[in-house]
Amino acid sequence: MLYQMGNLEGCKQLCEDVCTQADKFNSANYNALAGKAKSVKSGAYKQEKDFSKAEETLETGTEVG
């Protein structure tokens, strides 16, 4: 699947997919993958100027471990 620059909805969905797949396959790197994905998703929300959702997403990323 190809994501174009500026496709923030696609970016956020891809981040969720990363978390889902890492969990599904019991990745030993789950914490690192999910934390990074949540950080990127938070950045997408910031680009949309939805700062409360960005903060919420970032907090869930730091709770992964």
Please state whether the predicted TM-score (pTM) of the whole model is above 0.75: yes
User: What pLDDT does residue 62 have?
Assistant: 64
Domain that holds residue 44: 8-62
Q: What is the pLDDT along the chain (65 residues), one digit of tens a residue?
A: 455 667 899 999 999 999 999 999 998 999 999 999 999 999 999 999 999 999 999 888 766 55
User: Would you say residue 39 lies in a domain?
Assistant: yes
* Rounded (10°) angle between helices 8-24 and 30-47: 170
Instruction: Let me know: does 19 contact 49? Beta carbons within 8 Å.
Output: no
The total number of structural domains that make up the chain:
1
Reported as half-sphere exposure (CB side, CA atoms, 13 A), residue 55 has a value of 4
Separation CA 29–CA 8 (nearest Å): 25
Domain membership of residue 15 (yes or no) is yes
Of 50, 44, 46, 51, nearest in space to 6 by CA = 44
Asked if residue 16 belongs to a domain, the reply is yes
Assigned domain for 12 exists: yes
